[in-house]
A = this chain, B = another copy of it.
């Protein structure tokens, strides 16, 4: 049996079909026996969905105890009707679980601009709140209920130790379309029983998101509904982590990034119409932020993405995309590789194209996972990004979305 968020002490959940979507599950609830520290990041889009307005307020005190999420309707561009709907979701959840409204996080995902089906959802909350469970299947139901065009549920779980304390950490996520840095149309909810001070948790969340969810791209558009929420309920009873200099913090932060990295990659693997998963490494850069900008820019290039779809080792497009990142660098120092440690081809050395083994290159480009490494040869900083290719399927899928 798999372990998932239900293996985190005190966490129970459920996911069910309430009628917002025609067939699939569309409402999920996650409940923590005890209120815990919460850290969260929200979309940078200037158009913000209604539930985010409430969730942003409710995380400000650093405490949360439950998360309620619907899929099928994004509750965005719905005005007052939508805002009241989100508010009602929070109230109903707090009432059913007998907790405070301010400790409820609310999220929505789905179509923008449709009237919000408040009544159906309120009925659903009444229905599912009593069913929250610690069964593994309940975790899977919740993971499935937050999906939209995703083709599979995204779950992650790991255990680690803070000295003698065994810590559990699990998460669920959704992605698929509109996936891009600064956030993506994506939701991610991570639960842990570690005890950590809210401000420090927020710091860990921000840093980990910058290295994971903000480094993935499917199509360059950032949605109105994105959020990553981490709830740490302290039920592992470790002494609360209060200093960023403590070893425990470093361990916690590392493991959080590990879970996020896993979920972020699952999102890219399920990108709309994607045929390949591409990992971009920028190494030996003179600055970490610059390395990150370079990796993101190359991973966002339509020309690079179509080349990978076409199994074309078009190093020129990779270099040109890097040149567009707004980062100063001397391209006549740069090396470029395709492939990973198992099989690798040097495409460009010190800015000059190289002769290479064409059969090996063909073999590398036939794989479903492609690795691109840009060695700046200018320092010791690095960054990693993940993206998908740009396919005819992507275009077809997105050209007929609403009709």
The answer to whether A221 has its CB under 8 Å from any CB of chain B is: yes
Q: How many identical chains are in the complex? A: 2
Interface size on A, residues (CB 8 A): 62
With A47-B322, A177-B303, A302-B220 in contact, do A401 and B312 touch (Cβ < 8 Å)? yes
| A298 smallest CB distance to B (angstroms) | 10
The answer to whether A306 has its CB under 8 Å from any CB of chain B is: yes
CB-CB under 8 A from A399, the residues of chain B are 306-307, 309-312
Per the bound structure, the CA–CA distance linking A307 and B178 in Å amounts to: 13
B401/A47 in contact, CB under 8 A: no
With A307-B401, A310-B400 in contact, do A317 and B395 touch (Cβ < 8 Å)? no
The answer to whether A62 has its CB under 8 Å from any CB of chain B is: no
B221/A303 in contact, CB under 8 A: yes
B178/A79 in contact, CB under 8 A: no
CB within 8 Å of B: which of A167-183? 177-178
| A394 smallest CB distance to B (angstroms) | 8
A320/B403 in contact, CB under 8 A: no
Q: Which of A89-97, A128-136, A323-331 is the contact stretch?
A: A323-331
The answer to whether A353 has its CB under 8 Å from any CB of chain B is: yes
A316/B112 in contact, CB under 8 A: yes
| A199 smallest CB distance to B (angstroms) | 27
B302/A219 in contact, CB under 8 A: yes
B403/A316 in contact, CB under 8 A: no
Per the bound structure, the CA–CA distance linking A323 and B399 in Å amounts to: 21
Q: List 17 A-B contacts (CB under 8 A).
A: A45-B324, A46-B322, A46-B323, A47-B323, A77-B319, A112-B319, A178-B320, A220-B300, A221-B302, A222-B324, A302-B302, A302-B398, A303-B398, A312-B399, A314-B402, A392-B395, A392-B396
3 tightest Cβ-Cβ pairs between the two chains A and B: A310-B399, A47-B323, A112-B316
